[in-house]
Structure 1
């Protein structure tokens, strides 16, 4: 079974929208390595349409320009790119295709099919749906020490909670935290009577 990994730049107050407007001051070699870990190990990248449009509008030109980021641009270009959208799309970026069918059903089939790991970058609506369906194996959050105070948050309103377990954490020199979560079967049980036993005593 293929592993599905999502990576997101996120502010301290939970904003994940338009990170290009606030996260670059925190981008150092440690974050570059984390991004490479999330995206570089996969042979397939799954996108929502808006995130794909953003990537397709930048990375092919960066690969062609042959600059410092051309190597990473080539990795993205060579990867199989699958775009979830309800609108019929046409592609100019190589190795791009549209996800056919309903998202959860189609990604379940993709996960159970042949191939290497699958990554997501951004694509908040897709991440939300895959989290709720229990299809994400790892959620990488690069938490910035910044309250953006406007924009879309990662988690929206819902009927049920989504329990997760922290599998690893690392603090970068910039103050960014790289937190990796995996699905948990439940959040466990507890009451105030259980908690008060842990309070400081005189």
Structure 2
């Protein structure tokens, strides 16, 4: 069975975006190329990407633009991965989303994700947005949590955990810029 992996950036105070959904704070401070290397390596273990409707347009446009117009960018190799991945946008209202390798899923979230997990192939990844990820977490659909904790507090914002969730820390890496990558898995009772 394929795993659903969450990879997300989180502030010190536990938010994944500002109250309006903006993630501009992720780029404040020193960059560490090792983080981009990790993101690329994790993406290589997956062949399907899940997106919520609210995040999908900005995400798809960003990576398609980066691939087409920024060949010298340090993110160009990641842009190619993001554009080439099969992307499934979950929406109750939209029937179509423009972009390369994009499908729309209008059915039940839990049933659709369980069906995807049973398909052959590499693992599945999700990057956000906050409400979509919260829904996946509350339905116990995430198998591995890769949370990159940035050394910045943003004061208020959008959390992904809306209820108590017990996780086991499987590994931790500290990057040169102070960010910490923690890999968690659901705790076994």
Please confirm whether the aligned pair reaches a TM-score higher than 0.5, indicating the same fold.
Answer: yes
Q: Does 1:180 align with 2:183?
A: yes
Alignment partners' CA distance in 2, 1:39 and 1:33:
10
**Pairing of 1:1-202 with structure 2 (within 5 A):** 1-17=1-17, 18=21, 20-24=23-27, 25-65=29-69, 66-68=71-73, 69-156=75-162, 158=163, 161-186=164-189
Question: Cα offset for 1:38?
Answer: 3.0
What is the rounded CA distance, in whole Å, between the counterparts of 1:36 and 1:19 in structure 2? 22
Instruction: Give 1 or 2 for the bigger CA radius of gyration.
Output: 1
Q: 26-35 vs 102-111, which deviates more?
A: 26-35
Unaligned runs of 5+ in 1: 187-202
Equivalent residues, number: 183
Structure 2 residue runs without a partner (length 5+): none
Give the secondary structure class of the aligned counterpart of 1:135.
coil
Instruction: Give the aligned CA root-mean-square deviation in angstroms.
Output: 1.6
Task: Give the corresponding residue for 1:192.
Answer: none
- Contact in 2 for aligned 1:6/1:38 (Cα 8 Å): no
TM-score (norm 1): 0.84
The question of whether the paired residues in 1 share the 8 Å contact of 2:167 and 2:186 is answered with: yes
Once the two structures are superposed, residues 22-80 of structure 1 have per-residue CA deviations (whole angstroms, 9 ceiling, x without a partner) of 12124311211221133232110001112211111211111111232332212111110
